Chains A and B, each alone.
Chain A
Amino acid sequence: MVGLHLDLALPLRTFRLELALDVGGETVAVAGPSGAGKSTLLRAVAGLARPERGRIAVEGETWLDTERGIDLAPEERSVGFLFQDYALFPHLTVEENVAFGSSNGVGELLERFGIDRLARAKPRELSGGERQRVALARALARRPRVLLLDEPTAALDAHTRLSVRAELHDLLGELGLPVLLVTHDFEEAASLAGRVGILVEGRLVQLGRPTELVAAPADPFVASFTGGNLIPGVASRRESGLTEVALETGGFLYSVDELEGRVGVVVHPWEVSVAREVPADSALNHVRAPLLSLAPAGNRVRARVGPLTAELTAASAERLGLRTGEVVVASFKATATRLVPLA
């Protein structure tokens, strides 16, 4: 069997981590809020946490099988573990860190990660991005059969994060290893992994390609976790074929999704446009509300309009000359409007 197979249950403080997952020669991210059991999942695969029950196998080799009493020690499991804070040994040089587990091909690894000129430096002398490369080189020195990444870019500055992510994405593609990544950041998950599972209180609530999660979130949590707006209301079917949602705050929104009862209206910020008057286009949904804030994010501007967040290009924000406090109209199409059942 190719890749990593896991199926385990492990009691945590207030809930149980319980999930099954198969990871082929691909990157799978498990994303969720902090405290959902993500780090424990990685630790269990590495043998640093002991599941109450379960099975972990890699390419047919069983690492854990509680029924058959198999539980390999961490050093007997062929994993590369990238810790969130990188966990470099502070008393050793870069070269000694990379050679810690296996001194085979260390020179080659240092060169490949562009850290050969830092070979004699101590971790405290390195930048965040450099530390991450050292930690990756160290994790790969053992030629592991599985790579485990814990929030790989969370410890980095915002401005290095994107470039490091791009490098990491290319590297993971080249390696072709089963990679299990955990993160609290959906963007990180989406930019590194082919499939993303959303972990809430120890359970996977949805697993799929990032675009699938964005387009069809299974529940309100997935919707807001993937960055969507979520507005509660009550849905009922109309003869036009559309679903009409009466909002709690008054007003109506329309969706092509077919659902009734208490729902959350989900729309992504990049589907929402902002104008002073209701535009004469095909958008059916309009929310008239005061502009609460304008926050630049890269070459875009995020505008909060009442209950909605909209994403505009910096250019159009400037052309409109928007000011916080003034009443504007946020519009989006019924076809871009998803409905998820609310409890």
Chain B
Amino acid sequence: MRRLFDVSLGLATALLLAFLVLPLVAIFTRLSPLELFAQLGDPVAVDALLVSLETSLVAHAFILLVGTPAAYLLATRRFRGRPLVLTLIELPLVLPPAVAGIALLSAFGASGLLGGALDVLGVSVALTPAAVVLAVVLVASPFYVRQAVASFEAVDRNLLDASRTLGVGPFTTFRRVALPLAGRGLGAGSTLAFARGLGEFGATIMFAGSIQGRTQTLPLAIYAQLGRDFDVALAVGALLVLVSLVVLLVAKLVPSWSDFTSIWPFRSVRSASS
């Protein structure tokens, strides 16, 4: 009976692994790595790579610049409505991408909530690279902010207080104590958010369209090339698999920041006098 159980556990694991890995392996079996690399020279792939890099970098800069202070506030202050704010920030994690797309359209689209106001300013967001950036920010920022809140919360409050009593103001305390101590966690969150943003598809195609050289990102290019040139689609797919793998490895290899918070005060340590 026990043997049978062990065997079924092993079988289930093998099945799961095969199911998850087989499609990824398949991407690399049709063409040799060299041929795949050559397909990336296709103008569609090059344009998509440039659009993806540009929009991802702008979106990511925005996420870090706005998300970091917001996360610090949420981690260090207790106020009424804080759980609600945290929940709202996490909502896009579970939101279907199509809903994110329709939501962006109804907010920033030509006939949307803010569309009229933007129109007056002569700005039209939909179907522009700015729309890609908005879509990426919406779906990717929770990945960063959630991790950033946890990382700042893991910084011992006494350290922030100690800094203040040493004559250092709140901003410099943030820069010299909180940021370096939360740094590894922030790095991991940032990496995950970047990967999620790079893969953004549903909200982008609805809100920004798929215009080559303007709003067609790498995932959109795969979709666009499916019917036209399967090999190009495959090559872009292979590129994204490699990028994802690197991102995952970086996020996993960054050791947890717990070694910063657990080193004191009581763990016995080698005395420097010996």
Contact = CB atoms under 8 A, between A and B. Distances in A.
Interface in B151-174: 156, 158-159, 161-169
B271 interface: yes
Contacts of B260: 90-91
Contact of B269 (A75, A89, A125): A125
A127 interface: yes
A130 interface: yes
B271 A126 contact: yes
Contacts of B98: none
Chain B contact-residue range equals 20 to 34
A100 interface: yes
Interface residues of A, number: 38
Interface in A54-91: 73-75, 77, 79-81, 83, 85-91
A109 interface: no
Contacts of B247: none
A121 B239 CA distance: 44
Q: Which 10 A-B pairs have the closest CB atoms?
A: A101-B166, A74-B164, A124-B263, A85-B265, A87-B162, A81-B165, A87-B158, A127-B271, A101-B167, A75-B167
A127 B163 contact: no
Given A85-B264, A131-B265, 8 more contacts: A75-B166, A90-B263, A101-B166, A124-B264, A126-B272, A127-B273, A128-B265, A142-B166
Given A48-B161, A91-B260, A142-B166, A127 B181 contact: no
B265 A74 contact: no
25 contacts: A47-B164, A47-B165, A73-B169, A75-B167, A75-B168, A77-B165, A83-B158, A83-B162, A87-B158, A87-B162, A88-B264, A90-B260, A90-B261, A91-B181, A118-B272, A121-B272, A123-B264, A124-B263, A124-B264, A125-B272, A126-B271, A126-B272, A127-B271, A142-B166, A155-B265
B159 A89 contact: yes
A90 B178 CA distance: 11
B2 interface: no
Contacts of B271: 126-127, 130
A23 B164 CA distance: 23
A254 to B, nearest CB: 47
B163 A100 contact: yes
Given A87-B162, A117-B272, A130-B272, A102 B167 contact: yes
B162 to A, nearest CB: 4
A85 B176 CA distance: 20
A272 interface: no
B180 interface: yes
A184 interface: no
B3 interface: no
